[in-house]
Amino acid sequence: MNPPPTEKAITNGTAHDRGELQKKVASKKVSVEKIYQKVSQLEHILLRPDTYIGSVEPRNEIMWVYDTEKFAMEHREITYVPGLYKIFDEILVNAADNKQRDPKMDCIKVEIDP
């Protein structure tokens, strides 16, 4: 079953707030079809992923990371995608929440295949 379509305000591919949009409509007599575009929930997520998970652009930042060769933490610059980091974090938080509800759970295993 497909999720219900959502509506979003778009002009020239850019989302606008309601007040700004009303000014454009009043001044230009823009048609409703050009302002609003019906898309499915999946299409909206793919069109605007930063609304749901944060930026999908790579970012350079100095962080503490584990060095597998030295078996130690080190403070260095890394490149990462905040949206991907958020997805990974959400999975771990959900697993930890599940542990609180299920006393039989005794392990959270994470495997990363580079």
12-48 tens-digit pLDDT: 445 556 666 666 666 666 777 777 888 899 999 999 9
Using a 10 angstrom Cβ sphere, with 0-12 exposed, 13-18 middle and 19 or more buried, the burial of residue 60 is exposed
SS3 assignment, position 11: strand
Please answer whether residues 99 and 105 qualify as being in contact, where contact means their C-beta atoms are separated by less than 8 angstroms: yes
Q: Enumerate the domain spans of the chain.
A: 6-48, 53-101
Between residues 65 and 20, the one the model is more confident about: 65
Q: What is the pLDDT of residues 77-94, one digit of tens each?
A: 999 999 999 999 999 999
